[in-house]
A and B are shown apart, each in its own frame.
Chain A
């Protein structure tokens, strides 16, 4: 397995509280992604990063922000969690991007429950 870890793996929080999920990689891959997985929707892209301090929005970015201050860490923040953000969140990394895509390596996932 690629060196990618997510923390926390499980979190229960209340509506309106801030939440930060961390993705840490040891592969020195340039591209990092945050996805959420919900039944019937597959994996939907929230935000991605193509380098340190370079990020962009995905399909479902409303209510989420990200930061990448170093190559190995990509943080996903829910400023004020809502019940609709209850989901399993996956971080993924890839060595290839721009015009030519390459294999995505996924973390183990973070299960977030917002009460």
Chain B
């Protein structure tokens, strides 16, 4: 299967700071790259996604960048708030299958 590496595994930031999570992958056929947020005890939910024909996408405080040549994509959260504390998963899609990274636990300290 596809190998998706996600870093860091844990990230602690002060409220108001930025957070960046990075994922690398190996299969160049992947064309859809979503990010999911999972709060403690809850189900994962999509927060933003990007397709391979786009380099960057923003949605308020969240942005995702994609570098297909280097095979990596990143999640950027600006002006972090305590409610951003959760586990974040990157994923990629390749013909019917979604492959997930191992997750990043983000802790935003008030």
Q: Are A43 and B100 interface neighbours, CB within 8 A?
A: yes
Contacts of A41 in B (CB 8 A): 102
Contacts of A48 in B (CB 8 A): 96-97
Please give the distance in Å from B77's CB to the nearest CB on chain A. 19
Secondary structure call for the B interface:
strand
- What is the number of residues of chain A that contact chain B, defined by CB distance less than 8 Å? 28
B84-110 interface mask toward A, CB cutoff 8 Å, 1 = contact, 0 = none? 000001010101111111110000000
Please give the distance in Å from A50's CB to the nearest CB on chain B. 6
B46 within 8 A of A: yes
Q: Are B6 and A45 interface neighbours, CB within 8 A?
A: no
A74 within 8 A of B: no
B: contact size bracket: 20 to 34
- From A50, A58, A90, B43 is in contact (CB under 8 Å) with A90
Q: Are A103 and B49 interface neighbours, CB within 8 A?
A: yes
A108-B43 contact, Cβ under 8 Å, with A43-B89, A101-B32, A103-B49: yes
A11 to B99, CA, bound (A): 26
B1-19 interface mask toward A, CB cutoff 8 Å, 1 = contact, 0 = none? 1000010010000000000
Contacts of A42 in B (CB 8 A): 6, 89, 100-103
User: Of the 9-residue stretches A16-24, A64-72, A76-84, A92-100, which lies at the interface with chain B?
Assistant: A92-100
Contacts of A33 in B (CB 8 A): 98
Q: List 15 A-B contacts (CB under 8 A).
A: A40-B9, A41-B102, A42-B6, A43-B91, A43-B100, A45-B97, A56-B96, A59-B1, A59-B99, A90-B43, A97-B96, A100-B31, A103-B34, A104-B98, A107-B43
Supplied contacts A41-B102, A48-B96, A107-B43, 14 more A-B pairs, CB within 8 Å:
A40-B9, A42-B89, A45-B99, A58-B1, A59-B99, A92-B98, A99-B95, A100-B31, A101-B34, A103-B49, A104-B98, A106-B44, A106-B45, A108-B43
Binding site for A on B (CB under 8 A): 1, 6, 9, 31-32, 34, 36, 42-46, 49, 89, 91, 93, 95-103
